[in-house]
Amino acid sequence: MRILLTGSSGWLGRFLAPRLRAAGHRVTGLDVAPGAHTDMIGTVADRALIDLVFAERGIEAVIHGGALHKPDIVRYPNQAFVDVNLSGTLNLLEAAVAAGASRFVFTSTTSLMISTAIREGRGDAAVWIDETLASLEPRNIYGVTKLAAEQVCRLIHAEHGLPIMILRTSRFFPEDDDTHLILSGENMKANELLHRRLTVEDAAEAHLVALERAPEIGFGTFIISAPTPFVPGDVAALKIDAPGVIARYFPDAAALYARRGWHLPQSIDRVYDAGLAERVLGFRCKTDFTALLAAMRDGAELPVAHVADYISPKERSASVAN
Ligand SMILES: NC(=O)c1ccc[n+]([C@@H]2O[C@H](COP(=O)([O-])OP(=O)(O)OC[C@H]3O[C@@H](n4cnc5c(N)ncnc54)[C@H](O)[C@@H]3O)[C@@H](O)[C@H]2O)c1
């Protein structure tokens, strides 16, 4: 298929573009920043450019991963989020409909399900989060514009029948968390695989599966995250004694962690349940906490990429230009 991939210079894009090409697709990468997999430099907010890309490249399908995301909140005004994440998505959807494209995959985020109350861990139990969670009150402009873009996807599907898969991916960024700096980056990422992270390779693979299944499914919104070992009945215990719950599922986790001087989470405030993606989309992440512990046990390379100082390529090209 001739695919337009937005965000092709980014962290996801650099894994997804080669994976798509290896699967036999012809990929046009569009990004505001240059990159090895980017053929066109420009913004999704520019409708004329989008129309030109569709016409010149005969685009048949779209994977829309380009966005301003959470780390950009401190760098860009709210209006830029509306322009890129909302208007940009609308531009691509309308161009896809006009071109008679067969499918559209939108990279969304679990972040849009996180209200301030969930973020602050106010309840006395962890929050079990699946696609039925309501009402959604995203706590920042990133989540608000991603949720609005999801709604535009829903509307365009309803009005025009364009098959659209929305992937609410959890964390796969390689850099240190900008809000939790207590644990080392690798320790933090390992902990998150229990309930709120996936590898970037799995994120890329989910997009391939969504691309494949879109016409058959029609429309769907899926949490994409490593399968959690926990069950809804664990939520109270996870909040007050996460190491106790983890020990039930992984008796040697504490010892394996201790060897590295790592720490298990003391309390877990949310769990993403990716079961719907498994049941309906037919996608399950390959790497989970079990795989991570197996690597630790074997002394193998850990299956979670950690690049402490990763910054989005558009910021790198901006600093070169300045
Ligand atoms: N990284 C994560 O943990 C995470 C978690 C959930 C969802 N996501 C989503 O995954 C997608 C990819 O994120 P990433 O981690 O690869 O981030 P990234 O910043 O590395 O990549 C995003 C890319 O989008 C490009 N971009 C920004 N504005 C654009 C515009 N106006 N037009 C075209 N391209 C533009 C950037 O230059 C960048 O290359 C995003 O939609 C993000 O919201 C990421």
pLDDT tens string 91-135: 999 999 999 999 999 999 999 999 999 999 889 999 999 999 999
Looking only at Cα atoms, what is the longest distance across the chain? 58
**Among candidate residues 191, 207, 159, the one with its CA nearest the CA of residue 7:** 207
Asked whether 8 lines ligand 1 (CB < 6 A), one says no
Report the alpha-carbon distance of residue 40 to residue 45 in Å, rounded.
14
For the chain, what is the mean pLDDT?
95
Structural tokens at position 265: 């989470």
The more confident residue out of 193 and 183 is 193
The Cβ-side half-sphere exposure at 235, using a 13 Å CA radius, reads 15
264 inside domain? no
Neighbour tally for 155: CB within 10 Å: 12
CA nearest neighbour of 113 among 67, 150, 83, 81? 150
* Nearest in space to 204 (alpha carbons), one of 63, 308, 302, 57: 63
In a domain, 33, yes or no: yes
**Is ligand 1 within 6 A of the CB of residue 84?**
yes
Q: How many domains does the chain have?
A: 1
Q: How many CA atoms lie within 13 A of 233 on its CB side?
A: 0
The arithmetic mean of pLDDT across residues 192-201, rounded, is 98
Tell me whether residue 302 is in a domain: no
Return d(Cα 136, Cα 192) in angstroms, integer.
22
In a domain, 263, yes or no: no
Using DSSP bridges, classify how beta strands 127-129 and 40-41 pair: parallel, antiparallel or unpaired. Answer: unpaired
Q: What is the mean pLDDT of residues 72-89?
A: 97
Compute CA 224 distance to the chain's CA centroid, rounded to the nearest angstrom. Answer: 7
- Residue 250 counted as domain residue: no
| 69 CB near ligand 1 (under 6 Å) | yes
Q: Is residue 239 part of a domain?
A: no
Residue 203 makes CB contacts below 8 A (sequence gap 6+) with 12, 15, 16, 169, 172, 224
Residue range 294-320, pLDDT digits in tens:
999 999 999 988 888 888 888 887 654
Domain that includes residue 137, residue range: 2-183+194-227+270-289+309-321
Ligand 1 pocket, residue 89 CB under 6 Å: no
Is any atom of ligand 1 closer than 6 Å to the C-beta of 6? Answer: yes
- Ligand 1 pocket residue status of 141, Cβ below 6 Å: no
Q: Phi-psi bin for 75: left (phi > 0), alpha (psi -120 to 50), beta?
A: alpha
- How remote is the CA of residue 225 from the centroid of ligand 1, in Å? 17
Ligand 1 pocket check for 198: Cβ under 6 Å: no
Cα 243 to middle of ligand 1, angstroms: 33
Can you give the pLDDT at residue 318?
Answer: 67
Structure tokens at 123: 């309840």
317 preceded by cis ω (within 30°)? no
Q: Which amino acid, one-letter code, is at 43?
A: T
For 81-95, the three-class secondary structure string (H helix, E strand, C coil) is HHHHHHHHHHHHHHH
**Radius of gyration over every alpha carbon of the chain, rounded to an integer in angstroms:** 20
Cα–Cα dist 105/115, whole Å: 25
Instruction: Inform me whether the pLDDT recorded for 219 exceeds 70.
Output: yes
Please give the Cα distance from 141 to 112 (Å, whole number): 9
Q: Is residue 257 part of a domain?
A: no
Task: Give the residue, 227 or 322, on which the prediction is more confident.
Answer: 227
Ligand 1, closest atom to CA 64? Answer: 41
- The answer to whether the CB of 107 is under 6 A from ligand 1 is yes
Torsion over CA of 202, 135, 144 and 30, rounded to 10 degrees?
30
CB 250 within 8 A of CB 289: yes
CATH of the domain at 56: 3.40.50.720
Report how far residue 26's alpha carbon sits from residue 54's, in angstroms, rounded to the nearest whole number: 13
Report if residue 275 sits inside a domain. yes
To the nearest 10 degrees (0 to 180), the angle between helices 88-98 and 47-57 is 40
CA 314 to CA 9: how far, in whole Å? 8
Q: Is the pLDDT of residue 245 over 90?
A: yes
Q: How far is the CA of 247 from the centre of ligand 1 (A)?
A: 36
Does ligand 1 come within 6 angstroms of the Cβ of 68? yes
Please report the pLDDT score of residue 321 as a whole number: 43
Ligand 1 mutation target, pool 53, 171, 224, 314, most atoms within 8 A of CB: 314
